[in-house]
Amino acid sequence: MKFVLASNNPGKLREMREILSQLGIEVLSQREAGIAVEPEETGTTFAENALIKARAAMEASGLAAIADDSGIAVEALGGAPGVYSARYGNCASDGERVELLLKNMEHEEHRAAKFVSNIAVVFPNGDELVTAGECAGELTYAPRGENGFGYDPIFFMPCFGRTLAEVTAEEKNSVSHRGRALRAMKEKLTEYFKEKERC
């Protein structure tokens, strides 16, 4: 079975493929599916935005679509940047967003933060599934590590003693917000397919 990922982000694509391939699902990027949709993310929650993106990709491709909406929520900033993580400060790159967040936190000692992910799957028959995952940590004072993407270089994981950009893909998937949401989605999809077989 083929799913289209409502993204061309290579990091997200790799993480989705690693977990969903276990169900025999082939995950295509939008480019590979021959579509290019970027719906306006008007939702006020990660779940709403994930559904907006998955619905648009499904309608454009005719395939089941999977989308992730995720971001970082910093306690000292009242949960910001939250759903605006990918558009934080209208910055053009991950590096600029990381720099801006560190600047906004430069006089703050309380550095607790969490990554939040919601994953949505939308099927052509109208069925929709949504799962969530969180990962708690704290912000560093400077980027560290070459792996990962987004805010990973400044997200310190006490369980590893390293940032998410300093751990392996396997280590990251074992604790990350998207890894947790994806494993929950894998379970939901397993049940969904079993139910369909019984009908």
Phi-psi region of 76 (alpha: psi -120 to 50; beta: other; left: phi over 0): alpha
- pLDDT tens-digit map of 105-154: 999 999 999 999 999 999 999 999 999 999 999 999 999 999 888 999 99
pLDDT at 70 over 80: yes
- Name the band, by pLDDT with cuts 50, 70 and 90, for residue 9: confident
The alpha carbon of residue 102 and the mean position of all alpha carbons in its chain are separated, in whole angstroms, by 21
pLDDT at 170: 84
Question: 14: pLDDT confidence band, cut at 50, 70 and 90?
Answer: confident
Higher-confidence position of 186 and 12: 186
User: Catalytic residue positions?
Assistant: 69
pLDDT at 199 over 80: no
List, in order of start, the domains of the chain with CATH numbers. 2-198 (3.90.950.10)
Please indicate, yes or no, whether the overall pTM of this predicted structure exceeds 0.75.
Answer: yes
Helices and strands in the chain, H and E counts: 6, 7
